[in-house]
Structures are given as C-alpha cells and as structure tokens.
Amino acid sequence: ERLRSRPIFRPTAPKATNSPREQRRPQQPTLEFTYHRFLSAMALLKPLDVSLAEMDGIVPHTTLHGEKFVQLYQRVPLAGYLYLPAELRFDSTHATEFARNHFEIPLICVGLYLAAIFLGRRYMATRERFDLRMPLAYWN
C-alpha cells in the first residue's frame, strides 16, 4: 500500500548542463519502481500450484518432508536447457532416504573439517615458512 501511494518517478528540476548527452539522459527510476519491476519479474517465476502442474502433465518433485514442489525447468520450459540430461533424469528417492537414515554424517564431516582447520593452523605455526615465489611465478 505504501509503495502504491508514492509516485514511481520523482520529478526533479532540470539541471543546467552543457552536454546534449546529459540533457537527453532519462530520469533515474526510484527504489519503488525497481521494487515493482522485481515483483513483476518474480510473479512470472512464482511456484506453480502442484495440482495445476499435475493437470498439465508435470510430475512434481518431493521434499524430505513429503511436500511436493515444481522445479524451475518445469515452470519455464527454456530453463531446461540450463540443466544437464543427468540432472533432469536424477531420481532423488535414494538420496532422500539416505539423508533421512544417516543424518549424523554431515555433522561428523563438519566437526572433522573444523578440527582440521584449527589443528592444522596449530601444526603449521611450528613449521618453517615455504618460499613459494618460484613455483607461483612459474604457475602464473
């Protein structure tokens, strides 16, 4: 409501310029105008109603919680060219079941990663520095 009540372009007093290019320059859009353009662009990509997608023959994907959703390449047909064929054919049921049954694996991996960072810094602090000027110069 607040955005609709404001003018999209704010009138400004013309500046005295010597350049004809600056005199022809269009007025800059306001933040509200940019926001409205963003919302209208997002309206094109809004999630399809799953029931409408199923009526159109689109098979929706399923989240870990069993909720159905429609992917971008299913909503916008030209977006399918941005995906590899293996991504389009990927069946996520096995990965979903594995993630449900083994939720502790990512936690263990993050813990090991953090331990490697902190212990690695402590280990490298006692070692002498490498002189990497020549290898890096050669690499470049």
Question: Would you list the domain boundaries of the chain?
Answer: 2-44
CB–CB of 80/88 below 8 Å? yes
pLDDT surpassing 80 at residue 10: no
> Cα–Cα distances in Å, from 31 out to 38, 79, 116?
10, 29, 46
DSSP secondary-structure letter at 79?
A: G
pLDDT of residue 11: 53
Higher pLDDT, 93 or 138: 138
Q: Which two tokens stand for residue 5?
A: 């009540």
Band (pLDDT 50/70/90 cuts) for residue 51 is confident
pLDDT tens track for 88-126: 887 777 887 888 899 999 999 999 999 999 999 999 998
Q: Which two tokens stand for residue 93?
A: 């049921």
- Report field, pTM of the whole predicted structure over 0.75: no
